[in-house]
């Protein structure tokens, strides 16, 4: 297994993008000006970075020694079990405070909000959608992605021209269906699977041909950065801010510019960070190692900030400065909380937050 330090750096950057995309509201940031819209376009959509890295690492780490049961077992331990554990409290709160959150119908039968069947169906819908916590929609989608890993192995073994055709076809579909609305549909994991799969496959392809890509794009990373900026500016010019969202019945032919902006960003970071292959910093390494615990825990910290929002909201005079502060605060707090959990529960931290020593 080859360790690629630049991709490790990229993991640290990717989790910062994810946290930063969720820190806008708590900071009272309003994207009124053109410049503010461009900034939000650059920050939003950070999940694409994560999916690209996941595909890259799938090829780098698992492909040569792939065994489906072992692979899936590792994902259950590090991702699914923490997801189920960390979902208990938010789901209970939603069931108590918002019993009518979901449309309480199942097989054309209307269920009373206080019935056992209603609660059970609601719990199932939360778990398969991730609608109970910020960013948790990613886990049901990721598990579907991992279940399809035998197909990904077959994809890797195809000739390059077939691989390119498959990615182009899937990207064409993705750019029209857009990302699903969060916390709306129980089937959004399937929608996400269709949208994000070409990015995952592209990550594999870039890992397989990384040496050719590094050579081909050497000293051309500036052009990729300009493409990223240009697409973010053009998106703002067209009046779009942030991610494009749609349900399957809302497809109207609008092209998802965010998808292509983030794909250019993935290639930029892959090539640009390769310049620092020999550079190491303990904090960057920590962020990379704890990227998934940060992902799991940052929603809790963000929700806590919203609970106490009224106590500090009047102190926010400069929203963008507050935005930077809260982004750093959420990241650092998530790291500290993860470290505490590992220290207090060393035998169970892997199951609790997906980080720690294997038992």
Q: pLDDT tens across 207-253, in order?
A: 999 999 999 998 899 999 999 999 999 999 999 999 998 887 777 88
- Classify residue 316 by its DSSP letter: -
Residue 358 in any domain: the answer is: no
Give the HSE-up count for residue 285: Cα atoms under 13 Å, Cβ half-sphere: 9
Residue 312 in any domain: the answer is: yes
The closest of 183, 224, 243 to 31, measured between CA atoms, is 243
Place of tokens 């799969």: 197
Q: pLDDT digits over 289-307, tens only?
A: 999 999 999 999 999 999 9
Contact 318, 29 (CB under 8 A): no
Which of 142-151, 172-181, 202-211 comes out lowest in average pLDDT?
172-181
Residue 359 in any domain: the answer is: no
Domains in the chain: how many in total? Answer: 1
Place of tokens 């069931």: 95
Residue 145 in any domain: the answer is: yes
State the pLDDT confidence band at 359, using cuts at 50, 70 and 90: low
Q: What pTM did the predictor assign?
A: 0.92
What pLDDT score does 104 carry? 47
State the pLDDT confidence band at 108, using cuts at 50, 70 and 90: very low
**Burial track 43-57 (b if 16+ CB lie within 10 A, e otherwise):** bbbbbbbbbbbbbbb
What pLDDT score does 121 carry? 83
Burial-class residue 72 by CB neighbours within 10 Å (0-12, 13-18, 19+): middle
Question: Greatest CA separation found in the chain?
Answer: 63
pLDDT, mean of residues 145-157: 97
Residue 192 in any domain: the answer is: yes
- Does residue 267 register a pLDDT over 60? yes
pLDDT, mean of residues 2-17: 91
pLDDT, mean of residues 109-136: 80
pLDDT, mean of residues 25-31: 90
Contact 166, 202 (CB under 8 A): no
The tokens describing 328, both together, are 């750093």
Q: What percent of the chain is modeled with pLDDT above 70? A: 94
Chain-centre distance for alpha carbon 117: 32
**Which long-range contacts link 2-6 to residues 24+ away (Cβ below 8 Å)?**
2/60, 4/60, 4/210, 4/277, 5/276, 5/277, 5/278, 5/279, 5/280, 6/270, 6/273, 6/274, 6/275, 6/276, 6/277
| Structural domain range at position 121 | 5-353
**Chain mean pLDDT for the chain:** 90
């Amino acid at each position: 297994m080859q360790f690629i330090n630049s991709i490790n750096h990229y993991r640290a950057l990717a989790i910062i993008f994810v946290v930063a995309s969720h820190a806008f509201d708590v900071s009272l940031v309003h994207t009124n000006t053109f410049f503010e819209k461009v900034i939000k376009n650059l920050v939003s959509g950070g999940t694409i970075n994560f999916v690209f890295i996941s595909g890259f690492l799938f090829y780098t780490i698992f492909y040569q020694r792939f065994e489906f049961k072992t692979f899936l077992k590792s994902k259950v331990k590090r991702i699914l079990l923490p997801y189920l554990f960390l979902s208990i409290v938010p789901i209970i709160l939603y069931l108590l405070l918002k019993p009518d959150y979901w449309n309480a119908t199942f097989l054309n039968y209307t269920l009373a909000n206080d019935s056992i069947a209603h609660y059970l169906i609601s719990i199932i819908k939360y778990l398969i959608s991730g609608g109970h916590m910020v960013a948790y929609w990613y886990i049901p989608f990721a598990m579907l992605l991992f279940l399809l890993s035998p197909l990904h192995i077959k994809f890797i073994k195809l000739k390059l021209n077939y691989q390119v055709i498959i990615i182009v076809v899937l990207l064409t579909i993705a750019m029209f269906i857009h990302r699903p609305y969060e916390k709306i549909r129980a089937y959004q994991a399937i929608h996400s699977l269709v949208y994000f799969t070409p990015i995952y496959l592209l990550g594999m392809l870039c890992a397989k041909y990384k040496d050719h890509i590094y050579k081909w794009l050497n000293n051309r990373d500036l052009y990729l950065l300009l493409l990223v900026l240009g697409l973010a500016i053009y998106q703002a010019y067209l009046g779009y801010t942030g991610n494009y969202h749609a349900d399957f019945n809302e497809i109207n032919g609008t092209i998802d510019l965010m998808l292509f902006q983030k794909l250019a960003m993935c290639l930029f970071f892959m090539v640009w960070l390769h310049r620092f292959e020999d550079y190491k910093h303990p904090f960057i390494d920590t962020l990379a190692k704890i990227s998934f615990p940060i992902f799991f825990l940052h929603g809790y910290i963000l929700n806590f900030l919203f609970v106490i929002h009224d106590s500090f909201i009047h102190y926010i005079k400069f929203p963008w400065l507050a935005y930077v502060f809260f982004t750093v605060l959420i990241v650092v707090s998530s790291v500290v909380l993860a470290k505490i959990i590992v220290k207090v529960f060393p035998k169970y931290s892997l199951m609790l937050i997906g980080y720690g020593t294997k038992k």
